[in-house]
Chain A
Amino acid sequence: MDSMLIYKALLTVGVFAVSLGIAAYLTWGERKLAAILQDRVGPDRAGPFGLLQPLADGVKMLMKEEMIPTKANKWLFIFGPSFFMLTACMTGAVIPWGSGITVDGVVYPLQVTDINIGLLYLLGVVSIGVYGIMIGGWSSNNKYSLLGALRASSQMISYEVAMGLALIALTMITGTLSLGEISKQQDAGLANVVYQPLGFLIFIICAFAETNRAPFDLPESESELVGGYHTEYSSMKLGFFLFAEYINMFISSAVMATLYFGGYNFPFQHELGLEGNTLAIIQTSVLFIKIAIFIFVFMWVRWTLPRFRYDQLMNLGWKVLLPLAIANIFITGIVMWAMGKLN
């Protein structure tokens, strides 16, 4: 039991480190991808292919002068980015990163905790994540920051509703809220996206809005609000805000892969003749490939689509996605009833 506790602690640190490391390289990936899409070279000065760019950026962020506006609320000004970073890192705890490694007959699961309210935990963390932006924007004592914070909060609240309803349709077919269980079910059957295509579409749009990525990056729209909620921030506190966005992107890609695209499972995995730890390692790699594909979609969309106008954003959230999500629940219910799966 004790060794299990130590293992869990190590796994927590591991998930943390991997999220941070991947998020760091996502900044490089995003700039490279933007460069490719815009027919440029992108960062290529620091190291081969600019691979040391995240390191250079990190050093730059840490070394810059830290400024706190005189009229700002000092404690909340520091609390905002810290809390945003904290909530960004918290979500990784419930995601099953693989099926489990067996050493000496003991199975070590690659999931920090498989609580049976995993989906609710996700929604809860997402819903309190907005406080970091709100508090940061308000405490800056700047009108642009405040406008950015207000936009962020109203946008995230609006899209959380549709996201929650999309997840309700998913739980109707899975019958569980545990992410580990949902992954295992997709091993036996097809990936959930086959049964929930509309739900997935709603979920991915909401994920874009929740991570404040383009085309929904109104909270920080630089052409109208200077920098939005992080206008007054400098140094690593700004770095936290920017960095947490990439962690959010990574984690929401992992959530989408787990919930809708089979998690760590891949087709014909039991026909390969592999077993045990080899299979587990391949499964984890497959999960990361799926995550990489979703991250690519995130970046692709950002550098392709223009930003929404504010009223368009609200109309899409409340008048399109919400009715669609409710209709999706009804359709799911009717199909399940017709197939005799309701008991």
Chain B
Amino acid sequence: MLSEYIFWFLSFVAVFSAAGMIFSKNPVYSVLSLIVTFFAVAGHYFLLGAQFLAAVHIIVYAGAIMVLFLYVIMMLNLNKLEEEKKSLYIKSLSFFAGGVLMLVLIAVVRRTEELQTIQPAVYNADMGLTQHLGKVLYKEFLVPFELASVLFLSAMVGAVYLSKKELA
């Protein structure tokens, strides 16, 4: 019962702060709202028993990525920041793209009831704990995991390469 209340509270916070991120005029407020959203989502992970995911979500997204976002935004001169006018063509295209994404999401969410991916009889509630997650990742899914890390490494090398002006 209590967890249900917490769920509704977190969902409320997540949706409203996400809306705040889009609608606020000041980019710094946008970043701060997005951080609040991350915290609410981490709370959801906790409720689902995925403690490791929740903690890493906070450390990586709220603690590192958003700090860098804030870092960049703080160096902009906000007083002189003017929103450039976008053409109707661009606007309608982005509206279309966003609409398609929403359709896909609605289609997925609608089917969750019938899919029944979680079987309560065989579901292991401790799955989200660090030890279980680690064993599954490093034993059953070792190759995909390593491939993902190679992908990250190449992205990192690419970012470093692009940031070197004289090379790019």
Binding site for B on A (CB under 8 A): 73, 76, 115-117, 120-121, 123-124, 126-128, 130-131, 134-135, 138, 146, 149-150, 153-154, 156-157, 160, 164, 177
Contact = CB atoms under 8 A, between A and B. Distances in A.
A157 B62 CA distance: 12
B142 interface: no
Contacts of A154: 71
Contact of A115 (B51, B56, B59): B51
B67 A121 contact: no
B130 interface: yes
A160 B56 contact: no
Given A123-B63, A131-B70, 16 more contacts: A115-B51, A120-B56, A123-B59, A127-B64, A127-B67, A128-B63, A130-B63, A130-B67, A134-B71, A138-B70, A146-B75, A150-B75, A154-B71, A156-B67, A157-B64, A160-B63
Secondary structure type dominating chain A contacts: helix
B13 interface: no
Contact of B129 (A116, A157, A164): A116
Given A150-B75, A154-B71, A117 B55 contact: yes
A160 B62 CA distance: 13
Nearest to B68: A157
Given A127-B59, A146-B74, A138 B28 contact: yes
Contacts of B10: none
A134 B74 contact: yes
B21 interface: no
A131 B67 contact: yes
6 contacts: A124-B59, A128-B58, A134-B70, A146-B75, A153-B67, A160-B63
A152 to B, nearest CB: 10
A124 B28 contact: no
Given A116-B51, A117-B52, A123-B59, A150 B130 contact: no
A335 B75 CA distance: 46
Contacts of A76: 28
Nearest to A127: B63
Contacts of A120: 52, 55-56, 59, 130
Contacts of A127: 58-59, 62-64, 67
B49 to A, nearest CB: 12
B2 to A, nearest CB: 14
Contacts of B28: 73, 76, 138
B74 A138 contact: yes
B55 A124 contact: yes
B29 to A, nearest CB: 9
Nearest to A79: B32
Interface in B28-76: 28, 32, 35, 51-52, 55-56, 58-59, 62-64, 67-68, 70-71, 74-75
B130 A153 contact: no
Contacts of A160: 63-64
